[in-house]
Amino acid sequence: MASKREEATSPSSPTSAAPPKPASRRSKVQSAGTGMAVLKALAAMGGAASLTALAGRLGESPAKVHRYLASLVDAEFVIQDPATSRYVLGPESLAIGLAAMRQSDALTLAAAELARLGESHNLSCFVSVLGNAGPTIVRWSEPVQPVAVNVRVGSVMPVLWSATGRAFGAFARSAVLDALVAGELAGATPEHRRLVPDREAADRLFAAIRSMGCAPVRDVMLNGISAVAAPVFNADGAVTVVMTALGPTGAFDPEPEGDVARWVRQAAAAVGKRLGHGI
């Protein structure tokens, strides 16, 4: 007659079933990771590649990559072109991409990043789009102690005399911008004309802004107010929106090497990446 101890350790005991081995779980995770690496490499190669080229990019043997491709083909994430034998992204991959694109609205993403930027660094900041009348503020985020300025959502910013406008002027290409610059130069005050006297000076200003990656201003549009703006690019390299932070001169550093400019550039780049820029 078996003892209770023997019954407890008997292989036939219902309570003796061993849980899944951690090593097996790790193996599945690693396999999933490799499958995702194959998909990402295929996407990075333009969505179509031969087995040899794909294996070379991944630094793996063609036999190993082929095993993962076979699984991805079964799941319709990848298909093989019968005419060329190249592997291309399949309908399931396209469905995922379309779902991601539907969530990648530039204004929605920029507004969320704007809130994070304002809260993290106690900044007044806003998002602008280029409308027919010029750069127009469409989202605004204020800290606990907001900056007293006479611009709000719906305000149209000048191209030459605001950080926002200069960011659009430097990084975007538009007939609307060209016409706005010409009009602002024609109606410039003597003070503004000393800053940007003609179109050549405006072009030099825009070139300098492109080299900095952002547009800083100090007491240009409003006395006592400084600002820095950076563009958000989409997957095609076009400017979709501009993100701007501003504050009282003296307590706000708009210099391109400063923290605020770095934060604004990082925020704009984060939104651009979500839109597919640089991917």
Per-residue pLDDT tens over the stretch 108-158: 888 888 888 888 888 889 999 988 788 999 888 877 556 667 778 888 899
pLDDT tier at 24, thresholds 50, 70, 90: low
Considering the domain architecture, whether residues 60 and 112 belong to the same structural domain is answered as: no
Residue 104: the pLDDT is: 52
Tokens of 144: 């606990």
Residue 279 belongs to a domain: no
Residue 4 belongs to a domain: no
State the average pLDDT over residues 177-204.
93
Residue 204: the pLDDT is: 96
pLDDT tier at 15, thresholds 50, 70, 90: very low
Burial label, 50 (beta-carbon count in 10 A; 0-12, 13-18, 19+): middle
Is the pLDDT confidence value at 12 over 90?
no
Residue 208: the pLDDT is: 96
CATH code: domain of residue 69: 1.10.10.10
Q: Token pair 């407890």 is at which residue?
A: 8
Considering the domain architecture, whether residues 134 and 30 belong to the same structural domain is answered as: no
258: CB partners within 8 A, 6+ apart? none
- What is the CA 148 to chain-centroid distance, rounded? 30
- Domain count along the chain: 2
pLDDT tier at 101, thresholds 50, 70, 90: low
Burial label, 78 (beta-carbon count in 10 A; 0-12, 13-18, 19+): buried
Backbone CA torsion sign across 50, 52, 55, 61: positive
Considering the domain architecture, whether residues 201 and 245 belong to the same structural domain is answered as: yes
Q: Which domain holds residue 219?
A: 104-274
Residue 108 belongs to a domain: yes
State the average pLDDT over residues 175-190.
92
Nearest Cα to Cα of residue 50 among 169, 247, 41 = 41
Is the pLDDT confidence value at 65 over 70?
yes
- Higher-confidence residue of 12 and 254: namely 254
- In the sheet that 239-248 helps form, which strands lie side by side, from edge to edge? 134-141, 124-131, 239-248, 225-233, 215-218
Considering the domain architecture, whether residues 81 and 208 belong to the same structural domain is answered as: no
Considering the domain architecture, whether residues 198 and 163 belong to the same structural domain is answered as: yes
Burial 92-119 (b: 16+ CB within 10 A, else e): ebeeeeeeeeeeeebbebbbebbeebbe
Nearest Cα to Cα of residue 171 among 70, 78, 243 = 243
Is the pLDDT confidence value at 187 over 50?
yes
Residue 63 belongs to a domain: yes
* Boundary residue ending a domain (43, 73, 96): 96
Considering the domain architecture, whether residues 188 and 232 belong to the same structural domain is answered as: yes
- pTM flag (> 0.75): no
CATH code: domain of residue 242: 3.30.450.40
Residue 209 belongs to a domain: yes
Q: CA-CA-CA-CA torsion for 162, 266, 232, 250, nearest 10 degrees?
A: -10
What value does the mean pLDDT of the chain take?
Answer: 84
Residue 277: the pLDDT is: 87
Residue 241: the pLDDT is: 93
Q: What sections of 75-198 are H helices per DSSP?
A: 91-102, 106-121, 163-171, 175-186, 190-195
pLDDT tier at 107, thresholds 50, 70, 90: confident
Considering the domain architecture, whether residues 139 and 243 belong to the same structural domain is answered as: yes
Q: Token pair 């994430």 is at which residue?
A: 77
Residue 2: the pLDDT is: 44
Question: For the chain, what is the radius of gyration of the CA atoms?
Answer: 28
Residue 27: the pLDDT is: 58
Considering the domain architecture, whether residues 147 and 215 belong to the same structural domain is answered as: yes
Residue 242: the pLDDT is: 96
Q: Name the 3-class secondary structure at 148.
A: coil
